[in-house]
Structure 1
Amino acid sequence: MKKTNIIQSVDRAISILEVLEKSSEPLGVTEISHRLDLHKSTTFGLLSTLERKNLVYQEPESGKYKLGLRLLELGEQVQQRMNLRHQARPFLKKLVEEFKETVHLVVKVENDYVYIDKVDGPQAIRMYSQIGKRALMHCSGVGKAILAFLPTNEQEKIMTGIELESFTPNTISNFDKLSKHLEEIRQKGYSIDDEEIEMGLRCVAAPILNHRGEAIAAISIAGPTTRMTYERIQDLVQPIKETSLLISKTMGYMPY
């Protein structure tokens, strides 16, 4: 990366985290500023910002700083997603081998989802999906599967924070209709994308749950409508639900 692309304040904030990470004991503002050759007021301002985001913690007694719990949470999220992709891969490949269609794995990221793995079927067609791509929740099988199995307060937060953009005539763009649809998905345990994000494409999806029973990800089997007929979708419902349950168990989910 070119030096001109580096944002100095962000670079300095990261340097503070690195200094705290290497220290076996909490550090004061003066000590941190000396180690990084920064003005004390600059260091204090950066620490205050990091503390507000829970990335550092200031001890009440000493006034010194150490790494905050938010870093642990972020690290766990990264580890969880890395483990998920590794754990899910064999299950994805098995679905492709059995049904000869493309299989996706996505994870929830804020109000959206991101594709983290994709195994193409032998007759794969060009699709909207690609690893690393971010997409909206309301217009896909995987997105709706996640949204339906989130805690009510989190689901409502996402619903009020997104715009129900229409991509095809089949996209659900009404909040009341979407809410009822999500309740049906929760009862059935799976969702369908019926040409809602791309015409000519249909998929069936199911959520992956964590140890709290909350959706953290989803998998889908997708293909062209010429092959993914409504009759075939019904044949795929049980396999996708069974596979998502097996993956969920590797992530600590215990069905009751």
Structure 2
Amino acid sequence: MKHKKLYEVPSIIKTIKIIEFLHKNKEATFTEIFTDLDIPKSTAYQILSTLEFNRYIKQDQSTGKYLLGFKFFELGFSVGETIDIRKEALPVLKELTNKTHLTAQIGILDGLEAVYLEKVESPDGVFIRTRVGKRSFLHCTAIGKAILAWQKEEIKENLLQEIQLIKNTETTITEVNLLRQDLQITRKRGFSFDNEENLPHIRGIGVPIWGVDGEVKVAISISGLTTQISFENAVDYLPFLEEASNILSIR
């Protein structure tokens, strides 16, 4: 039997080492990466830049450290301790679904979009076209608008300048000034509202989940048919969402 000849590509081996190093250490500085792995500085920089551009890693702007990005999560891999929130969120989402009979989901900010981390379907057989690992828009989903609304002003404005306000339905907000107004209203009333802005016949309500130092990178939402959720009854669901947020938030 003829054996297949195996090859090792040096640059790919170095890339794998960097990924495994970040997975093991959760985060690391540029110096730690090229020093500990004994990779030439210029090579390490090129690999990190390529991985970051393709969302396989990201750099924390406050610490300068690199960590695995949510591209791995989309592909079904672990993204370190950040994804531990899935374990914490699942029973909370189940309870939220049991109380509201609506689909419950949790999502996290990643770049200019949100990524769904966990989801529990409605027991009433109403299927919402989202899935764990799927990316979603910030401007037209309950999770996205909850994340946007509670950002610090400078961060929010940067996001508003960069995101594309793509029109998904007839009610999608595509004017940045109108979106600003909607986000102001969202903060005042305490929850975001998706009025068929992402999917026809589907509405959603979302609230932020508070992180360290009051940062908001994660939000939780419930979604259902327009016959289930209206402007009038949205406030009736708010206590259940706030209870779920309080359980998952870092105070």
- Asked if these proteins are the same fold (TM beyond 0.5), I'd say yes
Aligned residue for 2:119, secondary structure, equals: strand
Q: Distance in 2 between matches of 1:112 and 1:9?
A: 34
Write out aligned runs for 1:192-207 (5 A).
192-207=193-208
Contact 1:106–1:218 under 8 Å retained in 2: yes
Write out aligned runs for 1:229-240 (5 A).
229-240=230-241
Give the letter aligned to residue 129 of structure 2: Y
Return 5+ residue gaps in structure 2 as ranges: 1-6, 25-31, 53-62, 70-77
Question: Which structure has the larger Rg over C-alpha atoms?
Answer: 1
Write out aligned runs for 1:132-147 (5 A).
132-147=133-148
Q: Distance in 2 between matches of 1:103 and 1:242?
A: 13
Aligned residue pairs, count: 218
Matched residue, 2:65: 70
Q: Distance in 2 between matches of 1:44 and 1:212?
A: 34
1:105, distance to aligned residue in structure 2 (A): 0.9
Write out aligned runs for 1:87-236 (5 A).
87-236=88-237
Give the letter aligned to residue 237 of structure 1: L
Aligned residue for 1:181, secondary structure, equals: helix
1:231, distance to aligned residue in structure 2 (A): 3.0
- Structure 1 pair 10–163 and aligned structure 2 pair: CA distance change class (3 A): farther
Give the letter aligned to residue 198 of structure 2: I
Q: Percent identity?
A: 27
Across the aligned residues of Structure 1 and Structure 2, the Cα RMSD in angstroms comes to 3.4
Q: Distance in 2 between matches of 1:176 and 1:214?
A: 24
Contact 1:124–1:223 under 8 Å retained in 2: no
Write out aligned runs for 1:37-52 (5 A).
43=40, 45-49=42-46
1:247, distance to aligned residue in structure 2 (A): 1.1
1:44, distance to aligned residue in structure 2 (A): 5.2
Contact 1:139–1:172 under 8 Å retained in 2: yes
- Structure 1 pair 49–183 and aligned structure 2 pair: CA distance change class (3 A): same
Once the two structures are superposed, residues 202-241 of structure 1 have per-residue CA deviations (whole angstroms, 9 ceiling, x without a partner) of: 1111111101111111111111111223333221022212
1:137, distance to aligned residue in structure 2 (A): 0.2
TM-score between the two structures when normalised by the length of structure 1: 0.73
Q: Distance in 2 between matches of 1:28 and 1:243?
A: 42
TM-score between the two structures when normalised by the length of structure 2: 0.75
Q: Distance in 1 between matches of 2:8 and 2:158?
A: 31
Contact 2:128–2:223 under 8 Å retained in 1: no
Q: Distance in 2 between matches of 1:107 and 1:159?
A: 17
Q: Distance in 1 between matches of 2:235 and 2:33?
A: 60
Once the two structures are superposed, residues 56-111 of structure 1 have per-residue CA deviations (whole angstroms, 9 ceiling, x without a partner) of: xxxxxxxxxxxx9623x449x93343221111112111111112111111111111
Return 5+ residue gaps in structure 1 as ranges: 1-5, 34-42, 56-67
Q: Distance in 2 between matches of 1:7 and 1:178?
A: 51
Contact 1:190–1:241 under 8 Å retained in 2: no
Give the letter aligned to residue 158 of structure 1: L
Contact 2:151–2:216 under 8 Å retained in 1: yes
Contact 2:193–2:203 under 8 Å retained in 1: yes
Aligned residue for 2:123, secondary structure, equals: coil
- Structure 1 pair 12–129 and aligned structure 2 pair: CA distance change class (3 A): same
